[in-house]
Amino acid sequence: MAAIKQLKSGNWNVEIRIKGSKTICKTFKLKLDAEQFSIKNEQVIRANLKGQTLLGLQFVLDTYRKRVLINHDGSLRGSYHHTGYLGKSLVKFFGDVTLSSITSANVASFREKRLRNDGMSESTTRKEMELLQRLYKFADIELDIEVKNPVNKVKKPSGAKIREKVINNEQLEHILDEVPHKYHAYFRLLMETACRRSELLYLKTSWVDLSKRVIHLPAEITKTGTAREVPLSKKAIEIIEPLLNIGRKELFRWKGESMTQCFVRAAKRLGYKDVVIHTLRHSCLSHYGRLGFSVFQLRAISGHRSVRMLERYVKVDSLSVLGAMDRS
């Protein structure tokens, strides 16, 4: 078994002693790194000694993405790439070990490392832990692996703070000055339609109906799993019409994480704090909220399941409320 102890120097020493295998020793500055090393190596050594082929974390992650996030026609669900991005941090920390070898204490160590050592946000760390939780549920139901879910016992970070930041079209154009021209139409369309990042990245020409001024989003690419029609403003039509004339089946062919980094870095260079791609969705809905749109009209644009969720995206100040009261 693995033993971890602190040395007089303050470093942490890992010693893995398993009968039939060479003793492995390694020293780390951080206890979390020592724990990570022991988790990765002890299970692998035991499996090799038994000659077992184990269903490791990487296998379950890959199988989950193939079965759940790829549609029958071969198209990818909106969260396919993002799930792979989140999964990398899980595999990097735990290694390709069996799910049964991961304990609640290991999950807690993962949470602390991501928050304290890696400097990740509470929101991202929470999403990573939620993915691990889903992998256990998937393994239990779909792969018939009887294993307790250690994530259930571990407190997750509180998650994302409610976004209050909004930008106007002029500020967006300032940001786009720092972005390659080929991406401009994509970001402008996000601002004009309040679509989610992935919904436009997978947008196909056949889903756009200019005669009815709508985009038909199929259920497999929406976050809620429900098909919806996105209304197109006159400005949105001006943005999308030239793209349709190019003759491509897909209007945009880029990866979500690449687009996120491109936009965020451009905003930071201009001093715009807390501006991310999702700010465009929030800003669009906030704009229509200030114009007096009802929550049901806003839901038709945003695709939210519940009216309550729109409170996160619609920013209505007291002056606009007073104006509406005075006009009544």
The answer to whether residue 253 scores a pLDDT higher than 70 is: yes
pLDDT level of residue 51 (50, 70, 90 thresholds) = very low
In the prediction, which pLDDT does 24 show? 79
Q: Which residue has the tokens 């704009």?
A: 287
User: Mean pLDDT, to the nearest integer, of 15-21?
Assistant: 73
CA distance 265 to 273: 10
* Chain segment 86-104, per-residue pLDDT in tens: 999 999 999 878 888 899 9
* Cα–Cα separations (whole angstroms), residue 269 to 66, 171, 266: 38, 13, 5
Contact 51, 33 (CB under 8 A): no
* Cα–Cα separations (whole angstroms), residue 170 to 46, 167, 177, 191: 61, 8, 11, 12
In the prediction, which pLDDT does 95 show? 84
Q: Which of 27-36, 145-154, 259-268, 279-288 has the lowest mean pLDDT?
A: 27-36
In the prediction, which pLDDT does 321 show? 67
Strand order in the sheet with 12-16: 2-6, 12-16, 24-28
In the prediction, which pLDDT does 160 show? 58
Closest CA to 165 of 272, 319, 279: 279
* Cα–Cα separations (whole angstroms), residue 285 to 5, 221, 253: 54, 20, 26
User: Mean pLDDT, to the nearest integer, of 138-142?
Assistant: 87
The answer to whether residue 184 scores a pLDDT higher than 90 is: yes
pLDDT, averaged across the chain: 85
In the prediction, which pLDDT does 78 show? 63
In the prediction, which pLDDT does 52 show? 43
The answer to whether residue 29 scores a pLDDT higher than 80 is: yes
Q: Which residue has the tokens 């992998």?
A: 135
In the prediction, which pLDDT does 315 show? 57
